[in-house]
């Protein structure tokens, strides 16, 4: 049994690596179980050490932090919590898309680091199984920019999405609407393919709410909590949608 949670540090600059290791050790809250300056060795190190927490630099030569997580997902379903460390704040949105537990800007302030570790310990106290479920649930959430900042959208709450020039409009359950600054094809690439279908150049529907396909008038009917939504469908997409629903 571990006396302290264990962490691994991935940082390509030796000076930064040693400084972060000292800052973490000085907290007395977690144990530095392993570290490396070689991004290509990160996956093997993480898999062999099975840490509770990983401090992961983003911008590194050869393989960045996001690629490391992508490769880890292919190897194992049990993932640790990730805290991204970087000198660049431009990666914040993508970090949250990757379900980062936190995002620390360099130079890392000791008090900020302690706060991150304490929050990690509070969340992980319920055990490994729940930790993994929380991460998987986080991966399902989508993040987009809107006029006021960043909006988090749960795909299960999306009834349909429609194009509006350079924007996309999400029609959500509870009659909520969110407009994001992203083209429809970008939105499509982030939605789960098994649940969503592009019915035309200007609309995507959630198949869970599809109730009827009108082949003559070329529209489909969605229904949620007694409210109906009529969405036009392109003629060349009708046959594909019907076949898809048969397979479901």
Q: Where are the domains of the chain?
A: 6-140, 146-247
pLDDT score recorded for residue 134: 45
CA-CA distance, 232 to 64, in Å (whole number)?
Answer: 42
Number of Cβ atoms within 10 Å of the Cβ of 130: 12
6-140 shares its CATH topology with 146-247: no
Alpha carbons 29 and 206: distance in angstroms, whole number: 45
Alpha helices in the chain (DSSP H): 14-27, 42-49, 65-75, 92-97, 110-124, 128-140, 184-190, 235-247
Q: Helix 42-49 crosses helix 65-75 at what angle (to 10 degrees)?
A: 50
Predicted pLDDT of residue 100? 81
What CATH number does domain 6-140 carry, 3.40.630.30, 3.40.50.2300, 1.20.1740.10, 3.40.50.300? 3.40.50.2300
Angle, helices 110-124 vs 14-27, to 10°: value is: 60
How confident is the chain (248 residues) per 10-residue block, as mean pLDDT? 86 96 96 96 94 94 93 85 87 76 90 91 58 47 80 90 96 92 90 91 96 95 94 94 87
Note the pTM of the prediction, 2 decimals. Answer: 0.54
Determine the pLDDT at residue 90. 75
Assess contact for 155 and 197: CB atoms under 8 A. no
Domain spanning 146-247, CATH class: mainly beta
Give Cβ neighbours of residue 39 (< 8 Å, ≥ 6 apart).
10, 12, 60, 61, 62, 63, 64, 68
What phi, psi does 127 have (nearest 5°)?
Answer: 115, 170
Assign 80 to helix, strand or coil: coil
Per-residue model confidence (pLDDT) at position 130: 41
Helix, coil or strand: residue 12: coil
Residue pair 139/173 in contact (Cβ under 8 Å)? The answer is no
Residue 183: what pLDDT? Answer: 93
Q: Report which of 154, 105, 109, 116 is spatially closest to residue 29, judged by C-alpha positions.
A: 116
């Amino acid at each position: 049994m571990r006396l302290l949670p264990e962490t691994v540090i991935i940082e390509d600059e030796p000076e930064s690596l040693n400084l972060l290791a000292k800052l973490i050790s000085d907290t007395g809250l977690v144990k530095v179980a392993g570290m490396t300056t070689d991004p290509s060795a990160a996956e093997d190190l993480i898999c062999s050490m099975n840490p509770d927490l990983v401090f992961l630099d983003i911008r590194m030569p050869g393989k960045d932090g996001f690629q490391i997580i992508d490769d880890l997902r292919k190897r194992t379903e049990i993932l640790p919590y990730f805290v991204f460390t970087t000198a660049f704040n431009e990666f914040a949105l993508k970090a949250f898309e990757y379900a980062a537990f936190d995002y620390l800007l360099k130079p890392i302030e000791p008090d900020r680091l302690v706060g991150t570790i304490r929050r990690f310990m509070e969340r992980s106290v319920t055990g490994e199984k729940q930790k993994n479920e929380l991460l998987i649930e986080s991966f399902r959430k989508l993040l987009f920019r809107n006029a006021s900042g960043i909006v988090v959208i749960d795909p299960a709450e999306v009834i349909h999405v429609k194009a509006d020039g350079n924007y996309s409009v999400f029609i959500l359950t509870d009659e909520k609407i969110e407009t994001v600054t992203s083209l429809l094809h970008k939105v499509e690439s982030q939605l789960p393919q098994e649940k969503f279908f592009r019915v035309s150049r200007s609309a995507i529907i959630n198949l869970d709410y599809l109730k009827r396909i009108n082949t003559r008038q070329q529209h489909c009917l969605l229904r949620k909590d007694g409210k109906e939504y009529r969405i036009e469908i392109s003629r060349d997409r009708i046959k594909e949608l019907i076949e898809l629903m048969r397979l479901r």
